[in-house]
Amino acid sequence: MKNNNDINGSDAVKVVDAILSDALEQKASDVYWIPGAESCDVRFRINGVQKKILELGNRELAAQCASRIKVLSGMLTYKSKTSQDGSIKGVANFAGAELRVAAMPTIHGERISIRILGAGGGPKYLEELGFQSSVQEGLRSMLVPSCGLIVLTGPTGCGKTTTIYAMIRELLRNSQDPASIICIEDPVEKVMPEISQVSLTRSGDDWGYEEALRAALRQDVKTLIIGEIRDYGVSKVVLNAALSGHRVITTLHAGDIPSVYARLLHQGFEPFLVASAITGVVTQRLASSKDGGERKPVAAFLSPDDKWKDFIIANPGISDMRRKILEYPDADLKSVANKLAEKGIISKKDAMLI
């Protein structure tokens, strides 16, 4: 990347091309465009670590660059008071690049988040993700039953999708027929030629998660991968599929394992159905290594036993669930993080923040 003076003296087209090209060369997973009162910061996320790459002190140039990004991603440049989503296909010397772009207004200008799809190479195997051996075995054990719901949770950028792709590779390695796997995402982040992948990037038509799910269930599918449970309609189809002989792997926005159960129960589903459907829950984060270098995955997992299922059938509150989960050491993320810090695998500071 050029120095700040060179960049600030360039035009918007050259600046944006340079930033996006540099992000692709460095295999960044995300680019963040963050306007402030006096300047605009450009930040990359690489290997889970976010760092400042550039500071644009010319606010007029920063605004022009934001407009340039919106043009490239198919957004309306005159709409700056509401959020917009778009995508960019191809950047300079990276003709095959695909970027997902989201813009939102702030008091200092438009903040833009760019997700680089397929960053970091192709899908990896579970043993390549940096998980502790107990987590690897826990995830593999979840894939043994031919039906049931496996839910992954954690904040944006924590590696949930990477873990799901590794679980797909595990299924393929264990000889599951690729024709029986359908993956539905918004959008597809990494292409896996062996399986059927469905992208929900289209807008303005009746093609969302619920519609794609129902269509997939008519395709003699054995394993369904759903990018995210977003509403009651999707939850209902997912639970029914898991209870009717399908393996379903998905994500849900929740803070911890008890919150996954609490959210589904709050949606009004019978405790018996939730307890019966879920065969595995994983919550994960990324934490700095002890020396502050590469980020390490921290994961807790629960493979529900009969004792836990009976507990859920009694329809407990979230506080009761959080007390109960302490009886399952591998399922409490805080306990897992503290153990990793004690072993010197992650920093004590990051463990305290989990």
Segments in the chain below pLDDT 70: 1-9, 120-121, 201-205
Domain boundary among 116, 137, 162: 116
Task: Round to whole Å and give the CA distance between 250 and 153.
Answer: 9
The pLDDT, as a whole number, for residue 44 is 96
Residues 203 and 147 occupy one common structural domain: yes
Residues 164 and 65 occupy one common structural domain: no
The pLDDT, as a whole number, for residue 7 is 60
State the pTM of this model: 0.86
The pLDDT, as a whole number, for residue 48 is 78
The pLDDT, as a whole number, for residue 91 is 87
- How far from chain centre, in Å, is Cα 149? 18
Q: In this structure, which amino acid lies at residue 228?
A: E
Residue pLDDT, tens place only, 271-307:
999 999 999 999 999 998 887 777 899 999 999 999 9
Whole-number Cα distances in Å, 66 to 33, 73, 105, 138: 8, 11, 11, 44
In-domain check, residue 309: yes
Q: Are strands 40-46 and 30-35 parallel, antiparallel or unpaired?
A: antiparallel
The pLDDT, as a whole number, for residue 302 is 98
Task: Round to whole Å and give the CA distance between 9 and 22.
Answer: 18
Instruction: Look at the chain and report how many structural domains it folds into.
Output: 2
CATH number of domain containing 80: 3.30.450.90
Task: Round to whole Å and give the CA distance between 331 and 338.
Answer: 13
The pLDDT, as a whole number, for residue 5 is 55
Angle between helices 209-216 and 232-243 (to 10 degrees): 20
Supply the DSSP string of 211-278, one letter for each residue. HHHHHHTTTT-SEEEES---SHHHHHHHHHHHHTT-EEEEE---SSHHHHHHHHHHTT--HHHHHHHE
The pLDDT, as a whole number, for residue 290 is 81
Segments forming the whole domain that contains residue 298: 126-353
Residues 78 and 48 occupy one common structural domain: yes
Residues 155 and 45 occupy one common structural domain: no
Residue pLDDT, tens place only, 19-43:
999 999 998 989 999 999 999 999 9
Cβ-based neighbour number of residue 99 at 10 Å: 25
The pLDDT, as a whole number, for residue 18 is 93
The pLDDT, as a whole number, for residue 339 is 95
In-domain check, residue 254: yes
Say if residues 213 and 241 touch (Cβ distance below 8 Å): yes
Domain boundary among 63, 91, 116: 116
Supply the DSSP string of 152-203, one letter for each residue. EE--TTSSHHHHHHHHHHHHHHTT--GGGEEEEESS--S--TTSEEEE----
CATH number of domain containing 224: 3.40.50.300
Residue 180, token pair as written in the block: 């029986």
Task: Round to whole Å and give the CA distance between 104 and 84.
Answer: 7
Residue 44 per-residue DSSP state? E
- Contacts of 84 by beta carbon, 8 Å cutoff, 6+ apart: 70, 75, 76, 102, 103
The pLDDT, as a whole number, for residue 4 is 58
